[in-house]
Structure 1
Amino acid sequence: MNIKICGIRRKEDLLVCENAGADLIGFINIERSKRLVKTREIKDLKSSMKDQNKAILVIEPGNVMDAYDRIEKTGLMKVQLHSLTTEEIIELKKHYQTQDEENKSIGPFEKYKSDLTVVRAIGLPEKINSQKNREIHDFARVCDGLLFDSENNGKTGGTGRQIPLETATEAAKIAKSCNPELKLFIAGGMDKNRIENDLKPIYNLFDFVDVNSGVEDAPGVKNAAKINDLMEIKVI
């Protein structure tokens, strides 16, 4: 099972995550977040990593140019978006499309072969209605991954609230039916106890578990013992 640890602000926490074997490490560059890290600090943190391919930039850009600016300033080519429409994501990925795809005609809901990896966060309510179903379908067509989180006043991330497993399961099945190659992430109040209690369904449906507050002493201050315990979870 792959683990993404998000909300890293300190080099000592970054080192713990790397040594423990975290599969992805998230840096949050969202103004409303208690775990905000400025772009220059992210670039510095990234430079100290043993494997920079594990770094993922978490942003909520106002538009495509804002996203492009943050990507360029940090140098991170994996992004987790908490905003942008499907059309804007296509435009962003097209900017970073691989050289051999530049002259290829492609439809509005097809994925560009891009050097940029895009994971789109989608907030889930208690029940998935037809509008949310359509949202999952549309983003599944253009993104490399989807992250399902709890939704609070239309915003995702940092809520600490858990998604009902039944709702997360339904969302995962909708996404995979549209794009079987899609990488799926589950977030929202995830910690060792929640993961162990629902280990088999989470493992069978999701590629990554996203953990943030579940391994913290305070926002942006990680607990090394909790991280190491988390990484010792085994799927039997």
Structure 2
Amino acid sequence: MTDIRVKICGLSTPEGVEAAVQAGASYLGFVFFPKSPRNVALPLAAMLASSAPPGVAKVALTVDADDAALDRIVCAVPLDMIQLHGAESPARVAEIRSRYGLPVMKAVGVASEADLAALDAYARVSDQLLVDAKPPPDADLPGGNGLAFDWRLIAGRRWSVPWMLAGGLTPDTVAEAVRLTGAAQLDVSSGVESAPGVKDPARIGAFLRAAREA
């Protein structure tokens, strides 16, 4: 059995949070991005995050949020980490990390080898990296699109900070993803849903089991 840490992202109901916790997720992700079907209002996010047991990290996913929006989120929701999933520059990442005193995870979209240099740049200013599939140019969402990238691009690659693999992971593909990349942390959202934004407890459980057996 492998000690793999899993983040269930885009949680928006007590049932989803309970299923993630019961299955053994290490991180719970809450989306604060109005265009997303997984967007949660601050009062609901605060309630969901407060219901999580100690030791399970609560992560706020934001997309190019300004200080005012981040202030509202951080003041309302008990958080352990901020995930930046937009076009934030390395300087902006460092600024947010300093302003809030919380660990920051920066998502970087990968479609080809040319995208890998950005991971090195963001590793210098982030506490963690999220290596995700780059969305298509016409996509409304920066993540959660159910797309995978060629995992062989990052086979054997490591960075100076912990990293998490995302993009198109499902209970059926996660073992292969771990085998090809050596990822010790995984992020899943649409891959454990029955419909956009609707988490499926059975799929959450199946994903965690498949990840641990990878």
User: Which TM-score bucket, shorter chain as reference?
Assistant: 0.7 to 0.9
Match of 1:185 in 2: 164
Rounded Cα–Cα distance in structure 2 between residues aligned with 1:201 and 1:68:
39
Match of 1:101 in 2: none
| 1:46–1:52 Cα contact (<8 Å) kept | no
2:198 pairs with 1:221: yes
Give the 3-state SS of the residue equivalent to 1:232 in structure 2: helix
| Structure 1: segments with no counterpart, 5+ residues | 97-114
CA distances 1:79-111 after superposition (whole Å, capped 9, x unpaired)? 110132111221222224xxxxxxxxxxxxxxx
| Structure 2: segments with no counterpart, 5+ residues | none
RMSD between aligned alpha carbons? 2.0
Distance 1:13 1:135, change over 3 A: same
Within 5 Å, which residues of 2 pair with 1:43-122? 43-51=46-54, 53-83=56-86, 84-96=88-100, 115-122=101-108
Give the 3-state SS of the residue equivalent to 1:142 in structure 2: coil
More helix by share: 1
Rounded Cα–Cα distance in structure 1 between residues aligned with 2:44 and 2:103:
21
Q: 161, 164, 171: which one pairs with 2:150?
A: 164
Aligned length: 206
Q: 18, 22, 26: which one pairs with 1:19?
A: 22
Rounded Cα–Cα distance in structure 2 between residues aligned with 1:69 and 1:41:
14
Give the 3-state SS of the residue equivalent to 1:26 in structure 2: strand
Match of 2:128 in 1: 145
CA distances 1:187-225 after superposition (whole Å, capped 9, x unpaired)? 1110111112343234x2x23111111111112212121
Deviates more, 1:6-15 or 1:216-225: 216-225
TM-score by length of 1: 0.79
